[in-house]
Structure 1
């Protein structure tokens, strides 16, 4: 009995010793990435204050353009906005507002910035979410097929089209589609999210929103999907020369099965990382498309805030957009580590 006890304890200690090195790197990795994300967010918050302070234009004078005001009234308006306070005091109040999720009141809308962002946020998510689903599915499918058929006519047409659309400015493509399909042919609405007199039934309302989404979705998908095509194509081409695919073919598997069961799953790793990294940028990049098509989202709200300049609204949308990008990049790091065992062993 006396000999058995130390052996049991030794086994327990050995098992704990084996499990400890596996847990420590993962925890260290997570803390490092989260710490880096928090530092990035802190820099964004600081930049969100000082960057917009150097913008040309006086918000109080800009609001005075709508109605005649005396210099005394403009000065009184500046005091109401808090623009007469020292810069350090304005920065302190800004930090308190950010950490309490209170970005102040919009100069133009006379509403809480947080409530405005909440109203417009889901419209942006609806638009960019639809774009992301279509662009990812289309880009990955075309990319894996083009990479597997490298040098074929399909590969050349797919790659050429993707590169051309990738280089097209988003606003220019949006304006062309708007003029042709919205103005000349009148197939789709030219702007907004709903018609002035929307249908009464639920199905009709849904179809009305969908008809307004067609042109902005096509515009964003045409520019975005090309990135997934090129990354997936390059990954599949790299996997084609791997030894395990030669073994799979030697077993008698059909070429399409070798591609779908072996090559594509391994080639998806870089593409998955790009997907999560790009989703944040896609939401933040909706400013141009939402402005062109008058889509009531955060992008259009940001554009209107710039024209003011509406500083609280600009600062709020800037922090929200930046936070989304940081969170998506963090998610991409964790998901890539989870998918790829080589990263976990590093």
Structure 2
């Protein structure tokens, strides 16, 4: 309940109000009093604060996230359109940074204290200190503007293809830079985790025995390192979900990507309380669901172990 109350109050602490912003446009200057009152009701700003909260909470309990007057569409429809794009970035980046962090961390951990370990860990430390929006801007500047290899913004070209294969390729091409920015942001925390685990595992008797028997490197990596590091990765995923979602919101804004982040940013600029409340509730629900899935996966892995 405290989360719901905070979601309602925080947008109203922003300077200005949605109706005042809309009245500054030519479209709304000629509206009558009754039309303005109806518009205010649609925006969820009619009546006192308690009345507004009661009306919004009642709609929320009925599964109605409200209506965005800025977009002239239901909030649920807008979220349904934007959510797949956000999931594409998250699900695209997650296997990339998990696999790369595991491989790099195991390599560094097996040679802990060596030149490779010191050099790679130093680089990762610098990488970890860079905020996600700086990483996104640098990628855009280097690979989309100075050296235009990838699109700088959006999820599709202005004239997307109607053919499924070509359209899929266009979507993948536009997602490369946002996915890379997100993967680089999350890479460091899992690298440190894999490195620490690998440094300990390397001196365990069962690993030393496997090395002495001449076990192939791929099998050693998968069965002795990967299998022991995986449960720790899953446990850490649960702790990193909120940071992952915060990063993807920022990265979507930088790349003008049509996900939840861009929707929230636009709602803040327009003071669209209903949309901002609905999007925040959706993000909070998504975090809870994702944490539940990760915890369930961790429990399943622990049971197998």
Is TM (by shorter chain) over 0.5?
yes
Q: Deviation string for 1:6-52 (max 9, x for gaps)? A: xxxxxxxxxxxxxxxxxxxxxxxxxxxxxxxxxxxx43223211222
1:139-218 alignment runs, 5 A limit: 139-218=101-180
**Cα distance in 2 between the residues matched to 1:260 and 1:187:** 35
Q: What is the aligned partner in structure 2 of residue 134 from structure 1? A: 96
Q: What is the aligned partner in structure 2 of residue 334 from structure 1? A: 296
Partner SS for 1:150 = coil
TM-score, normalised with respect to structure 1: 0.78
Q: 1:184 to 1:75 in 2, by over 3 A?
A: same
Q: What is the aligned partner in structure 2 of residue 48 from structure 1? A: 7
Q: What is the aligned partner in structure 2 of residue 107 from structure 1? A: 69
Partner SS for 1:286 = helix
TM-superposed CA distance for 1:160, in Å, is 1.8
Partner SS for 2:235 = helix
TM-score, normalised with respect to structure 2: 0.88
Alignment RMSD: 2.6
Based on CA coordinates, which of the two structures has the bigger radius of gyration? 1
Q: What is the aligned partner in structure 1 of residue 271 from structure 2? A: 309
**Cα distance in 2 between the residues matched to 1:258 and 1:202:** 41
Contact 1:277 1:328 in 2 (8 A): no
**Cα distance in 1 between the residues matched to 2:149 and 2:300:** 46
Q: What is the aligned partner in structure 1 of residue 56 from structure 2? A: 94
When the two structures are aligned, how many residues end up with a matched partner? 301
Q: What is the aligned partner in structure 1 of residue 83 from structure 2? A: 121
**Cα distance in 2 between the residues matched to 1:161 and 1:265:** 26
Partner SS for 2:172 = helix
**Cα distance in 2 between the residues matched to 1:243 and 1:110:** 65
TM-superposed CA distance for 1:241, in Å, is 3.6
**Cα distance in 2 between the residues matched to 1:295 and 1:47:** 27
TM-superposed CA distance for 1:207, in Å, is 1.8
User: What residue ranges of structure 1 are gaps of 5+ in the alignment?
Assistant: 1-41
Moved more, 189-198 or 333-342: 333-342
Contact 1:280 1:328 in 2 (8 A): no
Q: 1:249 to 1:201 in 2, by over 3 A?
A: closer
After TM superposition, what 4+ stretches of structure 1 lie above 4 angstroms from structure 2?
Answer: 70-75, 246-250
**Cα distance in 2 between the residues matched to 1:107 and 1:189:** 31
Q: 1:262 to 1:239 in 2, by over 3 A?
A: same
Match of 2:29 among 69, 72, 76: 69
Q: What is the aligned partner in structure 2 of residue 12 from structure 1? A: none
